[in-house]
Structure 1
Amino acid sequence: MPKAPSKNQIETLLKQYQANNYVKAEEYALYLTKKFPNHDFAWKILSIVLKKVGKISESLTASEKLVEITPQDALAHYNLGNTYRELKKFSKAEESYKKAISFKPDLFQAYYNLGIVSKNNYKLEEAERYYRKAIHLKPNFAEAYNNLGTVLDNLNKLNEAEIYYKKAIALNPDFEEAYNNLGTNLEQQGKLNDAQTMYEKAILINPGLTNAHRQLSLIKKFDSYDQHFQQIQKIYLDKNILGEQRCHINFALAKIYEDLENFEKAFQHFTEGNKIKKKLLKYNIKNDIELFNQIKLYFKKNSQNTPKNFENKNALTPIFIIGMPRSGTTLVEQIISSHSMVTGLGELPFVLQFGYPVTTGLLESSEESLTKFRNDYLEKLEYLREKNLIVTDKTPQNFLYTGLIATCFPEAKILHVKRDPAAVCWANYKQWFKSKNLGYSYSLEDIVVYYKLYNELMEFWNKALKNKIYEVDYEALTINQEDEIKKLIKYLELSWEESCLSPEKNERSVSTASNIQIRNKIFKGSSQKWKKYKPFLDGVLDNLDTK
């Protein structure tokens, strides 16, 4: 009995595949794998065909069998890695890509995909290294230049990221994603006119690039229903635009209608966009209620495990700026980082990355685990800090991990920014967030529940940590700017510098949703803007009781 399919059988399968006749190709490949279970060709075609028809799990079985038959085939390991990545099994994908590289060290695609996996796992320095290796092996790899730019953006290396986006565009002048990413990069640097040009170029290449429309609408001030509005409205009326695309378009239209003071229409589009986003995220407030309860439970349980002494090898001192998103944390960071001794690092993912397992009981809290959390975090800061030893981390959601932060960084300062509850809740509702961890923000009812959870947790931290948290009142800060800023700088034990009174002149990059308004002078009254929508809110934000 033959151990391999005949030339005619191989050609028959190949013809079905090349003709895109995937149903027959799948059937014939299954027949050949049963008849010749140890021959690689039919398994290879079967794994590809199953993936093309959306049977990813079945494709995984075929890919694993192919690797078993040809254990030294680099491409077999590479394709297995791709399947693992599509199934979001990132650790397995990483193993497969590394195995592929061990057999074929010049496999640039494997390095590129390792960059994708590393970024998904918040291993940004590793992702940077892999993308650079992919570019070294293939210097005209436009996608790698673009992805390297996104990693450098996340590492707050915006000037360098700009260079790589431009290289990607030079290699592929029709690279719409690179234009869009460059627009975001320039926006974060405060180069709003240049950012607008990049968004417009992205849209010119692909008029249906809804994310670019949304971002462009945010940096423009609309005084009429102009051509851009007409273009967005046309996309909105297209019934084939679904999911995330329709979400972007709704938020873009809401911004335009708000500029033109048609608040009823703006509210309608905010509502539609939010409903879509919540559905896409499959968010349920019960998961956050459980998370808040877990955090309190494990803090009480593990409070006895605090190491008595922490070594501070490099004298790095973090300032954590916490609070609800859209509460004014960006403004506070701009003020503090205007000081010559402070470097503002923006929103960093590292407390979540290293601290979540300890905070929620997934990892046992011990002297060893707490020390590791501290050291891992400080290692990341050392990589990013530039020249100053005092740095800010203004990730608002770090309020969840305040107990862990206070325990592991006794030398750190923790600033809690509080703002009018209704203003914060509305600001969350009208914002499209890049993070997938803010699912509560896409329903007004969920936002109110979440705000109360947050407020109760902050009361819990204040009681447990006693005088460790300095509260910054956003409204007081905007009304009595000089007095409040001087009190803040004194609390941080910094010498006084007049530059702290003019945060709008701070030229550092800002990657948060506040990156446009932060370029303007501090102004009063922003917390009252939500009241323009009161007629449409059915009282959901009235008398928001947080006690």
Structure 2
Amino acid sequence: MTLTIDEALAEARLAQQNGQLQEAERLFSQVLKVHPDHPEANHCMGALAIAVAKPAEALPFFGAALKADPQNASHWLSYVDILLQLDMIDEARRVMDTAARFGIDAKQFAPFETRLPSSTKMTAEGRGAFQGEGLSKKPTEGRALNNAQLNRQLRQASKKAKSGAHQEAISIYSGILAIYPKNKRALDGLAELGVTVNANAVGKVDPPAESLTALTALIENGQFNEAQQAAATLRQSFPKSIILINIEGTAFARLNRHDEAIECFRAALAINPESARVHYYLGAALEDAGDLAAACNSFTEALRLDPGDVGTHCQLAAIKRFREGDPQIVAMETLLADKALPDKLRSRLSFALAKAYEDVGALDKSFRHLKQANAVRSRLLGYDAAQDRELFANIYKYHELLEATPAEVPASDRSPAGEPVPIFIVGMPRSGTTLVEQILSAHSGVGAGGEVELMSQLGTAIVREQSHLSSQTIRDFRAMYKSTLLDRAGGGAFITDKLPQNFRYINLIARIFPEARIIHVERDPFATCWSNYKQNFVTNDLGYCYDLADTVAYYTLYRELMDFWFGQYPDRIYRLDYERLVSDQETETRKLAAHVELDWQDAMLAPQDNRRIARTASQQQIRQGVYKGSSAQWRKFESFLAGAFEPLGQYSSGNCDSEHS
């Protein structure tokens, strides 16, 4: 079936959002063959080049997008960012100066300030580092709007239309209609610009491109409820639109409404059973729902239809147990031998092969692929351990400044009725934070927020700038943070945030959220560091873990900082020993519940039955429940490590009994 330009763009955006980079590149390339100057396709191709660590290839794509649509601020930002990555400082400065003539606010370039030589840095007026009104917020696009926000956006769209910025006006109107499909002012505004909505439904399979763009923006912004509801409304007019069904299914999946996600993807396959992409989406939804056998079947069918898709190979490899002679191993080795394979995909494939060879007991091949995977990933990220050493030094320095800051949360604001109390679960990645969240969120009074980046973003920004923490910043951040938690997890007396790296900012957590619970999960250092090294994390923020020496060095920084926090906040941090949890589950879980002030519920002893899915590296292990695994599995590879873990001996209690993270 031949796709229109709009259909190809929508399919490509969704593939990109779901990590199918090869498919996204193929679809965007199809668009550019027909329309070489298409701004969105060029911009997305640039983003894909960045994703596979090819900044020089991204530059012409971002340049073409900017030339085609100079009214779009994101095109300027991407172009400047890539210029700075390529050390083209003077050109970046010139482009930022030129942007002002197109109405681009100079403050949008503030994040680039620290990357410019001191002589070219922006003035203080251009900064915005979590200070008072400068507190970063997500754009209102895609969110449910109050009347004032709605009217503001409608006025903005009208001004854009009158000034000739038609594409921006269309984007704003479409964003409104994605949330409020019957808003008359938005419909009339689009009609004046020559864009009709309802009329397009007649004889069309898919909705207008503007609607699809707005829906994918909702997904990207994390507004999954709004995306699902808007997609459901549009499906009434476009019941055969596979793109629309996939978007709704993706929204359901992000909302942990697994049965409905599966139903959507099966409906899409009923329309086109030969879509490898939809088989992949169905497999991911089945995996989330815990039906691993069916998920394997779906991924296998996706590979039958598209045997060269690296993402599908990696997803299948993560959930299956390989046996000697498995043809998928040969298939992955063949793909890896292709010299044209981008390094990012090469790294992912090597991680998958390392897991496959470990399954079949070929430890030498497993470690060889693991070493190669980590080396490529480390090179792509360009990790420098000095940056982490500097960050940790600044954390200690900032603590002195914070202690001299009087700003705090008034007692009357600490636990307003109807607002959840945050539970911060911190520690090293792969230390057990995911399992602890699953245990707690199995309780009916606890919602699972997952890994929320906001506290880490705030901490990194103000520690870097050594900024004073004002009362206004505290109020703004509390409001934004709790709103985000509610968006993610709904109601509940408590909501968890299990971003492990929040251990770096326990002083800020204690100051901004005096009512919060802070749980530190401690796991055997050998097991923790090995689990970090063998994991290909989705995030780019854990660059240390792709080198054994860097992993050990980072672990040392972590332990020293936690010892400092224990001294500063002895009554605020609950220390949960992971090995004790897996060896005496009920005793340790009851102690944890008592600390949080939860009444006892037996469901907390069966985290594997928790319908809330952990979308982290630990997802499949959590499915197996709390068990005495063998963190000593790292010893199988000890002969390959050349003594790299010897410095960890000073932190080890000698008890290696866990496998979960």
TM-score, with length taken from structure 2: 0.66
Displacement of 1:496: 2.4
For 2:612, which of 489, 504, 508 is the aligned residue?
A: 508
- Of residues 467-476 and 360-369 in structure 1, the stretch that sits farther from structure 2 once superposed is 360-369
Displacement of 1:446: 1.7
Displacement of 1:413: 1.1
For 1:436 and 1:154, locate their aligned partners in 2 and report how far apart those are by CA, in whole Å.
21
Give the residue type in structure 1 aligned to 2:170. A
Q: Does 1:498 align with 2:602?
A: yes
For 2:333, which of 197, 210, 233 is the aligned residue?
A: 233
- The 8 Å contact of residues 199 and 216 in structure 1, kept in 2 or not, is answered as yes
For 1:56, which of 61, 76, 87 is the aligned residue?
A: 61
For 1:275, which of 375, 386, 395 is the aligned residue?
A: 375
Give the residue type in structure 2 aligned to 1:329. T
For 2:577 and 2:303, locate their aligned partners in 1 and report how far apart those are by CA, in whole Å.
41
1:103-252 counterparts in 2 under 5 A?
104=190, 106=196, 108-114=208-214, 116=216, 141-252=241-352
Give the residue type in structure 2 aligned to 1:316. P
Deviations 1:416-474 (A, max 9, x none): 11111111111011111112222222111221122122222222322222321101111
Deviations 1:205-239 (A, max 9, x none): 21111121112112111232222222222222333
- The 8 Å contact of residues 187 and 195 in structure 1, kept in 2 or not, is answered as yes
- Counterpart in 2 of 1:434? 538
Q: Does 1:478 align with 2:582?
A: yes
For 1:485 and 1:253, locate their aligned partners in 2 and report how far apart those are by CA, in whole Å.
36
Deviations 1:188-207 (A, max 9, x none): 22121121122112212211
Displacement of 1:347: 2.6
For 2:622, which of 499, 518, 527 is the aligned residue?
A: 518
Pair 1:85–1:358, CA change in 2 (3 A): closer
Displacement of 1:320: 1.6
For 2:170, which of 84, 94, 100 is the aligned residue?
A: 100
Give the residue type in structure 1 aligned to 2:546. Y
Gaps of 5+ in 2: 1-33, 46-56, 82-103, 110-138, 142-156, 158-164, 174-188, 198-207, 652-661
- Of residues 400-409 and 531-540 in structure 1, the stretch that sits farther from structure 2 once superposed is 400-409
- Counterpart in 2 of 1:307? 409
- Counterpart in 2 of 1:444? 548
Give the residue type in structure 2 aligned to 1:308. P
Give the residue type in structure 1 aligned to 2:482. L
Pair 1:375–1:106, CA change in 2 (3 A): farther
Pair 1:129–1:403, CA change in 2 (3 A): farther
- The 8 Å contact of residues 114 and 130 in structure 1, kept in 2 or not, is answered as no
For 1:258, which of 352, 358, 363 is the aligned residue?
A: 358
Deviations 1:165-206 (A, max 9, x none): 445545554443333233223222212112112211221221
For 1:156 and 1:358, locate their aligned partners in 2 and report how far apart those are by CA, in whole Å.
34
Give the residue type in structure 2 aligned to 1:347. E
- The 8 Å contact of residues 414 and 469 in structure 1, kept in 2 or not, is answered as yes
Displacement of 1:400: 2.5
Pair 1:423–1:230, CA change in 2 (3 A): same
Q: Classify the secondary structure of the residue corresponding to 2:648.
A: coil
Pair 1:406–1:179, CA change in 2 (3 A): farther
Q: Classify the secondary structure of the residue corresponding to 1:392.
A: strand
For 1:56 and 1:384, locate their aligned partners in 2 and report how far apart those are by CA, in whole Å.
34
- Of residues 283-292 and 211-220 in structure 1, the stretch that sits farther from structure 2 once superposed is 283-292
Q: Classify the secondary structure of the residue corresponding to 2:646.
A: coil
For 1:135 and 1:277, locate their aligned partners in 2 and report how far apart those are by CA, in whole Å.
41
Q: Classify the secondary structure of the residue corresponding to 1:544.
A: helix
For 1:81 and 1:379, locate their aligned partners in 2 and report how far apart those are by CA, in whole Å.
26
- Counterpart in 1 of 2:135? none
- Counterpart in 2 of 1:317? 421
For 1:230 and 1:204, locate their aligned partners in 2 and report how far apart those are by CA, in whole Å.
15
For 1:62 and 1:379, locate their aligned partners in 2 and report how far apart those are by CA, in whole Å.
38
CA-atom RMSD, angstroms? Answer: 3.5
Q: Classify the secondary structure of the residue corresponding to 2:344.
A: helix
- Counterpart in 2 of 1:534? 638
- The 8 Å contact of residues 106 and 137 in structure 1, kept in 2 or not, is answered as no
Displacement of 1:481: 2.3
Displacement of 1:246: 1.5
Displacement of 1:56: 3.4
- Counterpart in 1 of 2:123? none
**Quick check: which has more Rg, 1 or 2?**
1
TM-score, with length taken from structure 1: 0.79
- Of residues 210-219 and 276-285 in structure 1, the stretch that sits farther from structure 2 once superposed is 276-285
Give the residue type in structure 1 aligned to 2:288. Q
Pair 1:397–1:227, CA change in 2 (3 A): same
Aligned length: 491
Pair 1:242–1:384, CA change in 2 (3 A): closer
- The 8 Å contact of residues 359 and 404 in structure 1, kept in 2 or not, is answered as no
- The 8 Å contact of residues 322 and 416 in structure 1, kept in 2 or not, is answered as yes
Q: Classify the secondary structure of the residue corresponding to 1:203.
A: helix
For 1:236 and 1:81, locate their aligned partners in 2 and report how far apart those are by CA, in whole Å.
38
- The 8 Å contact of residues 247 and 274 in structure 1, kept in 2 or not, is answered as yes
For 1:135 and 1:486, locate their aligned partners in 2 and report how far apart those are by CA, in whole Å.
47
- The 8 Å contact of residues 98 and 110 in structure 1, kept in 2 or not, is answered as no
1:322-341 counterparts in 2 under 5 A?
322-341=426-445
Give the residue type in structure 1 aligned to 2:408. T
Deviations 1:389-412 (A, max 9, x none): 222222222223322222222222
- The 8 Å contact of residues 544 and 554 in structure 2, kept in 1 or not, is answered as yes
For 1:46 and 1:182, locate their aligned partners in 2 and report how far apart those are by CA, in whole Å.
33
Pair 1:194–1:316, CA change in 2 (3 A): same
- The 8 Å contact of residues 440 and 447 in structure 1, kept in 2 or not, is answered as yes
Aligned-pair identity in percent equals: 34
Q: Classify the secondary structure of the residue corresponding to 1:55.
A: helix
- Of residues 455-464 and 346-355 in structure 1, the stretch that sits farther from structure 2 once superposed is 346-355
Q: Classify the secondary structure of the residue corresponding to 1:516.
A: helix
- The 8 Å contact of residues 156 and 345 in structure 1, kept in 2 or not, is answered as no
Pair 1:157–1:293, CA change in 2 (3 A): farther
- Counterpart in 1 of 2:455? 351
Give the residue type in structure 2 aligned to 1:346. G
Pair 1:398–1:276, CA change in 2 (3 A): same
Pair 1:511–1:45, CA change in 2 (3 A): closer
Give the residue type in structure 2 aligned to 1:318. P
Pair 1:214–1:59, CA change in 2 (3 A): closer
For 1:295 and 1:251, locate their aligned partners in 2 and report how far apart those are by CA, in whole Å.
33
- The 8 Å contact of residues 451 and 499 in structure 2, kept in 1 or not, is answered as yes
Displacement of 1:532: 0.6
Pair 1:499–1:186, CA change in 2 (3 A): same
